[in-house]
Amino acid sequence: MMKLSVVTILLSVLVAGCASNGKRYMSDDESLRMKNASVTVVIKKSPTFKVLTPAIAVTQTALGGGLLSAIMADGLSADTLLEKNALTDPALQISEAMQRSLEKAHNASVVRVLASDGSQKTHATTYTLELETEKWGLKYFPTETTMYGVNYEARARLYSNKNKTLVAEGACKEKTELRDNIGSFKEIESGQSPKLKNELVRLAQSCIYALRADMLIY
């Protein structure tokens, strides 16, 4: 009886761990139900693009680690940085790829909606795929403070509108490695280098692979 109890406890811990890692595979039964279904893809409102320079890091430390909501870097706002580099939320790129996957794998009819106000719009479809960029930003490398990279985190959730249940979920956390750095802040703020935009596209592609694998949507 003791062995059974130990095994039961261990399984409970493992299940709890799986439930908390942002993965939920689509079941075979649900996959069959999705054939020829209608799906609304909702792209949730973009969060603030965070810029972390050594100077900002010092300021955050002085403020007790609090995050600055309107990040400024050398007088340049994060919004201006996005504009000068012609950047858009990678969730748009991810939504297009996930739409193609749903159409190919399930012959689904897909409607995409940009929920700029953060609300969920289902368009009376059978399923809703909700895509959200949770974090994105520019960050220096602690070991090479003049070089920068990108951090990107996103989450996708597939809901059955009929049963009001979550049927699949995936998450990704992508970041630039030092060897793939996108250059100095001066290069980035000029808007003349394509490296920042290209890196976001690359990280979004990695995120697409991760979400497909997490949710079993190919």
User: How many alpha carbons lie under 13 Å from residue 93 in its C-beta half-sphere?
Assistant: 19
Give the range among 33-37, 67-71, 150-154 with minimum mean pLDDT. 67-71
Percent of the chain with pLDDT over 70: 78
Give the residue numbers spanning the domain of 204. Answer: 25-215
Give a yes or no: residue 68 inside a domain.
yes
Give a yes or no: residue 192 inside a domain.
yes
CA 178 to chain centre: 21
Q: What is the pLDDT of residue 111?
A: 87
pLDDT tens digits, 156-165: 999 999 988 9
Q: Residues with Cβ < 8 Å from 218, sequence gap 6 or more? A: 101, 104, 105, 212
Q: What is the pLDDT of residue 152?
A: 97
CATH number at residue 111: 3.40.50
Q: What is the DSSP letter of 24?
A: B
Mean pLDDT value across the chain: 81
pLDDT tens digits, 101-148: 999 999 999 987 876 554 555 567 999 999 999 999 999 999 999 999
Please give the average per-residue pLDDT across 21-42, as a whole number.
90
Give a yes or no: residue 19 inside a domain.
no
pLDDT tens digits, 65-83: 444 434 444 445 788 888 8
Angle between helices 195-215 and 91-106 (to 10 degrees): 40
Question: C-alpha distances in angstroms, 168 versus 28, 157, 209, 211?
Answer: 11, 6, 15, 10
35 pLDDT above the threshold of 60: yes
Please give the average per-residue pLDDT across 42-69, as a whole number.
73
Give a yes or no: residue 194 inside a domain.
yes
Give a yes or no: residue 162 inside a domain.
yes
Q: Does 46 or 17 have the greater pLDDT score?
A: 46
CA 139 to chain centre: 17
Q: Which of 121, 132, 211 is nearest to 169 (CA)?
A: 211
> What is the pTM (predicted TM-score) of this model?
0.81
**Contact by Cβ (8 Å): 60, 69:** no
Q: What is the pLDDT of residue 121?
A: 57
Q: pLDDT category, 88, cuts 50, 70, 90? A: very high
Q: What is the pLDDT of residue 168?
A: 96
- Domain tally, the chain: 1
Give a yes or no: residue 8 inside a domain.
no
Q: Which of 122, 100, 125 is nearest to 113 (CA)?
A: 122
**Contact by Cβ (8 Å): 217, 105:** yes
Query: Largest Cα–Cα distance in the chain?
Result: 69
pLDDT tens digits, 177-198: 999 999 999 899 888 889 999 9
Q: What are phi and psi of 199, to 5 degrees?
A: -70, -40
Q: What is the pLDDT of residue 31?
A: 92
Give a yes or no: residue 126 inside a domain.
yes
Please give the average per-residue pLDDT across 52-74, as a whole number.
59
Give a yes or no: residue 40 inside a domain.
yes
Q: Which residue has the tokens 């059978």?
A: 126
